[in-house]
Structure 1
Amino acid sequence: MNRTKQIYNELLFRLDQGVYPPESKFPSESQLADEFSVSKVTMNKIVSMLASSGRLSRGVRGAGTFVSSPMLRPKGNIVFLGILSAFSGKILLGMQRECLQSGYFPVVFSPDAEELQPCLRNLNRENTAGIITTSYGLLEPPDEIELFCLDYALPYQASDPRVHFLSSDNYHGGRLLMEEVLKRGHREIAIFSSERFFLRSDAPVAPRVQGFHKALEEAGIFDYEQRTFFAMPQSISDAKIFLKKIRQANPPVTLICADSDNAAEILHKAGHELGFACPGEVALTGFGNVTCLPIATVEQNPELQGCMAARYLIQFHSGSRPETPVDEMVEPTLAGLEYIPIVR
């Protein structure tokens, strides 16, 4: 081991043992150079290495160098890569809580699609304990970095040992919600899906919509495919076409099941522009529990998903890895059922 590395390790040991307490002034480079009988240039390099690792904090010129407090010396970073939204914000909240409790720092990136791969390539692999991602599809992590895909709706095979999956059981959630709708006497039901083509133009029907369909089938309603309208993401014009269609239906539609809270809000806005109260003239449900609309919805527990994914990554970073990739589902719950009117 060369002399520079020996001195670096000795100073690191002293910092770990509390010889230089947190937030105290660190010995000057001149003092240390004299103590270890090396040049000031060599000692400047060693102190810079300690500062780069987060163990020291350099003050303004002439103020000296200080020992970092424990909060400024994380064990590693957990990176969030995702499109920022009300839903992903809850994932971040759970991730952040678990990180800070365990001495890790959350790092947040929300790049455009063309910036995604450069962002992954430029991650500092030494400091990155893992990646949590949502809304970008299935990513390939950099070498030696573990990745959790959250709320991934497309078919997949958990074959890469570094790629793990964690999401809400959306099929079960969709089925539960539709069962509650049916219990309240609704039979003239329409389904509005604006999430299907978010990642791929050839995406299959999402599990949550499959759950809607299964509950309808079990209730003896077999024309569920004709009742389902697939819109493009964020399309107000598609929402208007859908609302105009259901207003002309006979018998009249009494309730619309949207496949996300965002889709429900798009319908609400489209209805407002058409002079049609939705919810109001027709009942409405959502999916996600991230809306202020007075509607029933499915709580996917994104905060718990973020917390669990971060906890797993911290375990992996500590050396406790599973033999096979993690592939788990969080149980959904229902919220706002009082907003589903009873049909008599």
Structure 2
Amino acid sequence: MEKLEPILKTLRRELEDGRYAHLAHFPSEYELSERFGVNKKTANKAVSLLVAGGLLVRGTRGQGTRVVSGLLFHREQIAFIGELTSPYYANVFHGIQNAAMSRRYLVTYLSPSGRIADVLKMLSHSPVKGIVTHAYGRLETAGIPVVYIDHELQAGEQDLHMISCNNYQGGYEIMREVIARGHRDIVIYFHPALMRERLTGFYRAMSEAGIEDCEERTFYSMEHSDFDAKSALKRIQRKYPHFTALATGSDNDLLRMAKAMSGAGIVWSGRKALTGFGNVTGIGDTLPVATVDQHPFRIGCRAAEILIDMMENGEPEQPVRDMLDVEILYPHHIPVLR
């Protein structure tokens, strides 16, 4: 048995990795015994167990043993636990699926409305052996690796595996584009639930330009709604009636604010700069605004790759922290002040 187990592990991995094509001849027991330095009885036992596991089928009348699947998919699966209500996370999920399928893993999507602990308990008795998640906080799993997307670390969470875009870079660079075009009377519309590093990037660029009252120029939204955007715009107009640029923390908030400004009779196109974050559905193709492309598809792909590596090779000693670069799109839509 001591010799059998490592042989089985190696052969299963080769079959699941697609080394042998469907219906291809599998090495004979003589070839296996020579390769692994064991007797034919041990090699025969290994083949018999692979046949019992549905990976091989024995031929008749000397036809040898053939591969019956090279498994189209691994028996183990990945779960994505999160919300798909926004185009951003729909693209993240698409990336997860793409990377997982390329390595022959199926992905289960879950968006629990009840106790997350109950869901995790169910998953512990399922084929799911790895999880990618966002929006549910830290998950207490029993030995199942988890990769967190767009998660802001809390106290005691230094052991989490995480991936996100460089939110600070995005906030800093898009604000610099605004400032470079002569804008100084700048206001910010930001939801507290968003990644705060975006706001930190805004503030750094403004501070470098000599704009020190950044916090006073920040108007927080309490909910993602048209009503909230209208209310915030009224507060902005009272305090900064001549503002020339409005930066938001997400494209969804940008859309709501653009609607509120148009509804208030403010002619902003070509006169006031509006910026977002996310590049939701190619927003700059339909509105004269600048935005930050977070490349959610790439984030999803990378999250799945990190997770599968851990599922196959074990979790690393140090937590994985991956941060992908962002891209500023449509800066030419920012009006230049003379």
Question: TM-score scaled to structure 2, two decimals?
Answer: 0.74
Alignment match, 2:47:
none
> How many equivalent pairs are there?
285
Provide closer, same or farther for how the CA distance between residues 327 and 71 of structure 1 changes in structure 2, counting only shifts above 3 A. same
Match of 1:337 among 323, 331, 336: 331
- Alpha-carbon distance, 1:251 to partner: 5.7
Task: Indicate conservation of the 8 Å contact 1:158/1:325, yes or no.
Answer: no
Task: Indicate conservation of the 8 Å contact 1:75/1:103, yes or no.
Answer: no
Alignment match, 1:325:
319
- Alpha-carbon distance, 1:328 to partner: 2.2
Provide closer, same or farther for how the CA distance between residues 268 and 308 of structure 1 changes in structure 2, counting only shifts above 3 A. same
**1:252 maps to 2:242:** yes
Task: Indicate conservation of the 8 Å contact 1:91/1:306, yes or no.
Answer: yes
Counterparts of 2:246 and 2:181, CA distance in 1: 14
- Alpha-carbon distance, 1:278 to partner: 5.4
- Alpha-carbon distance, 1:157 to partner: 4.6
Task: Indicate conservation of the 8 Å contact 2:271/2:335, yes or no.
Answer: no
Task: Indicate conservation of the 8 Å contact 1:299/1:335, yes or no.
Answer: yes
Match of 1:170 among 164, 167, 170: 167
Alignment match, 1:140:
139
Identity %: 35
Question: TM-score scaled to structure 1, two decimals?
Answer: 0.73
Which moves more between the two structures, 140-149 or 241-250? Answer: 241-250
- Alpha-carbon distance, 1:73 to partner: 3.3
Structure 2: unaligned runs, 5 residues or longer: 2-7, 25-51, 58-66
Provide closer, same or farther for how the CA distance between residues 125 and 305 of structure 1 changes in structure 2, counting only shifts above 3 A. farther
Alignment match, 1:233:
223
Task: Indicate conservation of the 8 Å contact 1:267/1:278, yes or no.
Answer: no
Structure 1: unaligned runs, 5 residues or longer: 2-8, 23-48, 57-66, 199-204
- Alpha-carbon distance, 1:135 to partner: 2.2
Counterparts of 1:260 and 1:319, CA distance in 2: 37
Alignment match, 2:112:
111
Provide closer, same or farther for how the CA distance between residues 118 and 96 of structure 1 changes in structure 2, counting only shifts above 3 A. same
Provide closer, same or farther for how the CA distance between residues 207 and 156 of structure 1 changes in structure 2, counting only shifts above 3 A. farther
Structure-to-structure mapping, 1:1-344, within 5 angstroms: 21=23, 72-84=72-84, 85-112=86-113, 114-125=114-125, 127-136=127-136, 138-160=137-159, 163-194=160-191, 196-197=192-193, 206-249=196-239, 252-277=242-267, 282-291=272-281, 292=283, 293-344=287-338
Task: Indicate conservation of the 8 Å contact 2:270/2:335, yes or no.
Answer: no
Counterparts of 2:243 and 2:150, CA distance in 1: 30
Counterpart code for 1:176: E
Counterpart code for 1:120: L
Match of 1:111, SS state, is: coil
Counterpart code for 2:213: D
Task: Indicate conservation of the 8 Å contact 1:298/1:333, yes or no.
Answer: yes
Counterpart code for 1:104: Y
Match of 1:270, SS state, is: helix
Counterparts of 2:210 and 2:296, CA distance in 1: 33
- Alpha-carbon distance, 1:98 to partner: 1.0
Task: Indicate conservation of the 8 Å contact 2:178/2:273, yes or no.
Answer: no
Task: Indicate conservation of the 8 Å contact 2:117/2:140, yes or no.
Answer: no
Task: Indicate conservation of the 8 Å contact 1:289/1:297, yes or no.
Answer: yes
